[in-house]
Amino acid sequence: MRKSFNVILLLMAGIMVSGCGGAGRSGTESAAGGNRLPEWALGGFVRPAEVNPVIQPDPRVKFFCPMRRDSVGWMESDTFNPAATVKDGKICVLFRAEDNSATGIGKRTSRIGLAQSEDGVTMELRHDPVLFPTEDALKSYDWPGGCEDPRIAVTEDGTYVMLYTSWNRRIPRLCVATSRDLVNWTKHGYAFQKAYSGRFRDLKSKSGSIVTKLDGDKLVISRVNGKYLMYWGERMINIATSDDLINWTPELDENGELKGVVYPRNGYFDSALTECGPPAVLTDKGILLLYNGKNRVDAHRDMRYPAGTYSAGQLLFDSEDPGKVLGRLDVPFFRPVDDFEKSGQYKDGTVFIEGLVYYKSKWYLYYGCADSYVGVAVYDPEVETPGDSVPETTEV
């Protein structure tokens, strides 16, 4: 693992979609040195040399936990699964951090930290987390597992909307928080709390990707058919709509059950899970959703990739009929390649994408590495670049 951290720790409390041209092939085609992406897709993304991971655990960073009533190394064990946005001319990365209160995936307490960067790589880290379990109305949802896996989008008037997983170690719930400055957040609770008279109050839910559009040089939240829209889900991808970005209504099928619009596929990289990634992007060809696919561990997996691997795919939906799939990559455009993406908590290999920003004419993709670190990859629309290479032989 590279030891150049590129994180400047500030020990103080405050501190157009180019490449989406004509609608085309629904998959990727293998090409020498990589895979050629269809015209509607975004990328490929290149990992900058000698910079990743851009955020790593640091046991020196402490804050007073209001739940434990003690000083806690809130980012001691792992830092991963980042959201990203742009504010005041800087990229801002909100990442999940785990303390060292237990051993095992999902057994520690997670909090959400904030870092900012002028070049997309060198990070200035805020000393304290910005979203965490505390003595508030959400305590029963947030404690003891914490606040996990943020996605963030911004309205035209500058209100930041975060969708995150509230984890009490019984039911993961997709929750909403808003902020004007990315530091002070208002928790609004469970996204589906009021839908259908509370029918889905105890639904296991996570991973919400609000639809955005590129307005000038910034991604902002956009309405679709008169409503705000998000794709959400892990086992399958679902749709929900909202009038206020706080209270969301899941779409149901003709039988009154949750309507899935995308499912895992046996024999493909997403054979086990299809989990939403960063905010979706409305383009002139449709709605582009980048998502995370997990490979199965049995005979129904994609034999070209290791069992259990998380890689990233892309979907194109009809903007008039947001549940209609127009295109889907058959091989991942982004997969675990580097050592730090295949070591740490999740050694099967993970690139877990949650943050996407357009900054200085380039696209920056922020992702979790093996549930342990934060990485970045960059797409320059002026440079034709394939997706990550497709293995020629079976990986084990």
Summarize pLDDT for 34-73 with one digit per residue, the tens: 689 999 999 999 999 999 999 999 999 999 999 999 999 9
Spatial neighbors of 288 by CB under 8 A, at least 6 apart, are 17, 20, 40, 41, 42, 280, 281, 282, 314, 315, 316, 317
Give dist(CA 221, CA 210) in Å, integer: 7
Which are the contacts of 106, defined by CB distance < 8 A and separation ≥ 6? 145, 167, 169
> In this predicted structure, what is the pLDDT of residue 34?
64
Q: DSSP string of 272-312?
A: SEEEE-SPEEEETTEEEEEEEEE--SSTTS-TTS-TT-EEE
Per-residue pLDDT at 393: 65
φ/ψ of residue 249, rounded to 5:
-120, 115
Q: Which helix (H) or strand (E) holds 113?
A: strand 110-117
Please give the pLDDT value at position 24: 37
How far is residue 345's CA from residue 237's CA, in Å, rounded to a whole number?
A: 25
pLDDT of 250 over the 50 cut: yes
Quote the pLDDT of residue 10.
40
Tens of pLDDT, residues 267-302: 999 999 999 999 999 999 999 999 999 999 999 999
Label residue 189 left, alpha or beta by phi (over 0 means left) and psi (-120 to 50 means alpha): left
Q: Which two tokens stand for residue 57?
A: 């655990």
Report whether pLDDT(21) > 60.
no
C-alpha pair distances (Å), 131 with each of 104, 118, 167, 227, 230: 22, 23, 13, 27, 22
How many CB atoms are closer than 10 A to CB 369?
Answer: 32
- Give Cβ neighbours of residue 389 (< 8 Å, ≥ 6 apart): 33, 34, 35
pLDDT at 394 over 90: no
Output b/e per residue, 191-227; b: 16+ Cβ within 10 A: bbbebeeeebeebebbbbbbbbbbeeebbbbbebeee
Q: Provide the pairing of β-strand 280-283 with 208-215.
A: parallel
What number is the average pLDDT over the span 303-312?
97
**pLDDT recorded at residue 56:** 98
Q: Which amino acid is it at 267?
A: G
Q: What percent of the chain has pLDDT over 90?
A: 86
Strand 123-125 with 7-9, pairing: parallel
β-strand 286-294 against 273-276: which pairing, if any?
antiparallel
**Confidence check: pLDDT of 316 > 60:** yes
Instruction: Tell me what pLDDT residue 54 has.
Output: 98
Percent of the chain with pLDDT over 70: 90
101-126 pLDDT per residue, tens: 888 877 899 999 999 999 999 999 99
CATH topology of domain 62-249+350-379: Tachylectin-2; Chain A (2.115.10)
Average pLDDT over residues 148-160: 98
What's the confidence (pLDDT) of residue 61? 97
